[in-house]
Amino acid sequence: MSAKARFDAIQSVVTRKAQGTLQEKRPQSAHFGEQTFSLQEAQRRLPKDVFKKLRETVLGGAPLDPAIAPAVAHGLKEWALERGATHFTHLFQPMTGITAEKHDSFLSYEGDGLIERFGGRELVQGEPDASSFPSGGLRATFEARGYTAWDPTTSPFLVKHPNGATLTIPSAFVSYTGESLDEKTPMLRSQEAISSAAMRLLRLTGRSDVKRVTCTMGPEQEYFLVDRAFFALRPDLVACGRTVFGAPPPKGQELEDQYFGAIKDRILAVMSEVEHEAIGLGIPVKTRHNEVAPAQYECAPIFEVVNRAADHNLLILELFRRIAPKHGLAFLDHEKPFAGINGSGKHNNWSMATDGGENLLEPGTTPIKNTQFLLFLAATIRAVFKHGGLLRSSVASAGNDHRLGANEAPPAIMSVFIGDELQGIFEQIGRGSGAHNDKRGTIDLAVSAIPAISKDTTDRNRTSPFAFTGNKFEFRAVGSSQNISWPNTIINTIVAESIDYVADRLEAELKAGLSVGDAAAKILPGLVAEVSPVVFNGNNYDEAWHREAERRGLANDRDTPAALRHLVSEPSLALFERYKVLNRKEAESRYTVRLENYCKRVAIEAKVAVEMARTGVLPAAFSYLGRLAPLKDVPAAGEAFTEVSKLANSVAQGIKALEAALGATHHVSNVVEEADAFRAKVLPAMLDLRASVDALEVRVDDDLWPYPKYREMLFMV
Ligand code: ADP
Ligand code: MG
């Protein structure tokens, strides 16, 4: 064993230079969306009546008229061929967390020769077979056929590569029997659910101008960039995206000098190239900065309709994966690549908006707008109160388990932060209108406006999993590697149900003859009282809160197997059915897929840990012992020899224990038990092994340690 490869990697890192790759001189707005077949592009290329129908589908969510598909496909093909495309693909989101694509060329025999052809059917539906994707038992391989279907609400786009381009069609993925096999389909269904519930409530309050409600989403993406030379020497990073070993560096994040620090040139080169590509794809990327942990960064777009935001977030991740290596860097989207420093999440900024662009969570400036705001706000909070467990389950994964509950991310307890101002308003409402003796004065819902909630006062609490930040909610528990479609499917669905609940109550009062204002004033105190157990404005990291939350009856599911149970609880299954988001079979299959994913990920980590410990760590320890052996008479060397041989023995025992734990996961009768074995046996055994390995790392001769250390990976760029 020697550290030669490690030292060579350090050498290559210190000699690397930032690479300028962009020639772009135009402002971003000038090339925004130029790689997409946008509505403007469609208008230029399609017959008037075809365009009109397509526009209705894209903007209004009307189903695509099959009669226009051939014309749309033709226009699209011409557009793509002019830009050098040779192939097309339906891009879909199987339950793997990432996207999938299968490319076909446009070529087709026509008479005696080959020509480029792209028919309406090929645009609208693909048949990738794709029998190897996880389906949680929904598909046996003999009926494995899966179909992809164009989601016309997001534009087709071109993905350029060094030798050409591919026309890419964002798609849903369903089985032969119509069951959803992907993340997009339930998301689109949940959009329908919340739109009709919200429309119903709006109509009750006298709003007849709104035709559609959509959810808006701005996901703030955190990630790490480390040098590829280091990455390549870490089997754990290569196989699992996280380090299973690594002693804490002398300097971590305690100086807080990384957060919002000056961005290094090599990093900026990656960021700007990703952003340039993203802008071309019509992704409104806006913010970039250094995050709290060393080597950690953030990328945030301007918010969009949630299904587009989800597509775009997946594309951003793909761009980073593709572009970072060109700059000699590895992109890590794992929730916890390095122990002891912050992990990465994805802050999901979520709200609801009308087709006219009105944000339904914007505090009003008139009494009627206030009423509307308070009703939607109360409904959203109630959703978290009623279905906190399900919401928690939507972000459960092996990776995110390292994050939720540590003092860097919101805990596994789902609560809502509303801030002092709204808290005051809630308390007044709770006392009933007309109450006073409050220094803030009294709010008479029927006549007065709620003052605009200033962002400054609401955004201070960074410890809350679900925080109201002025005119939207920020769900902070989402993992950095996750497809945001799923957590947003859950938010949409649980909020839809609570909006209906509020609408039921309002409707009853209206039927009894009350005005909208009076009816709202009558039901709000009850609503506020009902949801108050889930409202918490304090420090969510505080142990006292964990006890208090238990007293309030809020769930605290600390790990994935525990959290996922909520996905298939009776209330959840009934909810999915009622809102036509998932049928029981689909929900159960998702439960299985997610549990399997958990098991597989932990298994990979455990196997990598065993291999690294056996083939890298122990040999380094033995070499060092060999160096020390002749010097045993020197007291310091003798002491080191004893210490290192003890630790080497614990590593050897740790390997055996971990292998035994892994073996035990085979003796189970179903995936629920299997996941439990990984949680209860494998993960603790990995931690035990890690403790001895990390102790060895800081004792073995640096000249022998084969794996790049935290102090190198995190600080050398
Ligand atoms: P921060 O949370 O860091 O203070 P901002 O609040 O400005 O930053 O924005 C964070 C994200 O929230 C951005 O992606 C922004 O586009 C998004 N956002 C702002 N308003 C809304 C909204 N109404 N719905 C969804 N996302 C929104
Ligand atoms: Mg934020």
Q: Are 295 and 259 contacting, i.e. CB atoms less than 8 angstroms apart? A: no
* CB distance 445 to 374 below 8 Å: yes
The atom number, within ligand 1, closest to the CA of 469 reads 6
* Cα 300 to Cα 481: distance, rounded to the nearest angstrom: 15
Nearest to 333 by CA among 276, 399, 289: 399
What integer pLDDT is reported at residue 458 of this predicted model? 53
Nearest atom in ligand 1 to 470's CA? 6
- In this prediction, residue 438 carries a pLDDT of 43
Query: Which long-range contacts does 8-15 make (Cβ < 8 Å, 24+ apart)?
Result: 8/229, 9/227, 9/229, 9/230, 9/232, 9/233, 9/708, 9/712, 10/229, 10/712, 10/716, 12/227, 12/229, 12/328, 13/227, 13/229, 13/230, 13/716, 13/717, 14/716
Cα 372 from Cα 516, distance rounded (Å): 10
Other C-beta atoms closer than 10 Å to the C-beta of 645 total: 15
**348 CA → ligand 2 middle, Å:** 8
The pLDDT assigned to 663 comes to 96
How far is Cα 698 from Cα 247, in angstroms, rounded to an integer? 7
C-alpha separations of 313 from 325, 484, 639, 716 in Å = 19, 8, 53, 28
Share of the chain above pLDDT 70, in %: 94
Check: CB of residue 299 under 8 Å from CB of residue 50. no
Whether residue 410 contacts residue 477, with contact meaning beta carbons closer than 8 Å, is answered with: yes
Q: Which of 361, 472, 474, 495 is the pocket-test mutation for ligand 1 (most atoms within 8 Å of CB)? A: 472
| 408: its two tokens | 């860097």
Q: pLDDT class for 455, splitting at 50, 70, 90?
A: low
357 C-alpha to ligand 1 centroid (Å) = 15
Using the atom order of ligand 1, give the atom closest to the CA of residue 302.
Answer: 16
The pLDDT value given to residue 240: 96
What's residue 253's pLDDT?
Answer: 81
Question: Could you identify the atom of ligand 1 that is nearest to the CA of residue 359?
Answer: 23
Nearest ligand, CA 300: 1
468 Cα: distance to centroid of ligand 1 (angstroms): 11
Could you tell me the distance, in angstroms and rounded to a whole number, from the CA of residue 256 to the centre of ligand 2? 18
- pLDDT per position as a tens digit, 278-302: 999 999 999 999 998 999 999 999 9
234 Cβ inside 6 Å of ligand 1: no
Cα–Cα distance, 563 to 442 (Å, whole number): 41
Residues 327 and 18: their CA atoms lie apart, in Å, by: 7
Residues flanking ion ligand 2, Cβ below 5 Å: 347
pLDDT at residue 150 is higher than 50: yes
Q: Give the separation between CA 624 and CA 626, rounded to whole angstroms.
A: 5
CB 209 within 8 A of CB 486: no
CA triple 179-184-189, angle to 5 deg: 70
Write the DSSP symbol of residue 381: H
Share of the chain above pLDDT 90, in %: 77
pLDDT: which is higher, 428 or 508: 508
| C-alpha 316 to ligand 2 mean position (Å) | 18
- Ligand 1 pocket, 471 CB below 6 A? yes
Cα–Cα distance between 578 and 711 in angstroms, integer?
52
Mean pLDDT of 199-208: 96
How close is the Cα of 309 to the center of ligand 2, in Å? 15
Q: Is 97 in the pocket of ligand 1 (CB under 6 A)?
A: no
Give the atom of ligand 1 at the shortest distance from the alpha carbon of 351.
24
Residue written as token pair 């957590």: 487
* Residue 434 pLDDT: 43
Whether 323 contacts 285, CB under 8 Å: no
Task: Please identify, by atom number, the ligand 1 atom nearest to the C-alpha of residue 471.
Answer: 23
Per-residue pLDDT at 366: 73
Q: State yes or no: pLDDT of 447 exceeds 60.
A: no
Going from the N-terminus, what domains does the chain have, and what CATH number goes with each?
A: 32-182 (3.10.20.70), 190-243+257-436+461-582 (3.30.590.10), 597-713 (1.20.120.1560)
Average pLDDT, the chain: 91
Structure tokens at 713: 């990976």
Spatial distance between the Cα atoms of 571 and 128, rounded to a whole number of angstroms: 35
Neighbours of 238 (CB within 10 A): 12
- Residue among 285, 303, 476, 488 to mutate when testing ligand 1 (max atoms within 8 A of CB): 303
pLDDT at 457 over 60: no
- CB 497, CB 385: distance < 8 Å: no
Tens digits of per-residue pLDDT, 469-508? 989 999 999 999 999 999 999 999 999 999 999 999 999 9
8 A C-beta contact, residue 407 and residue 292: no
List 164's β-bridge partners, or say none: 161
Max CA distance (Å), the chain: 97
Q: Which pLDDT does position 436 carry in this prediction?
A: 40
Q: Evaluate if residue 274 carries a pLDDT over 60.
A: yes
Give the Å distance between the CA of 347 and the centre of ligand 2: 6
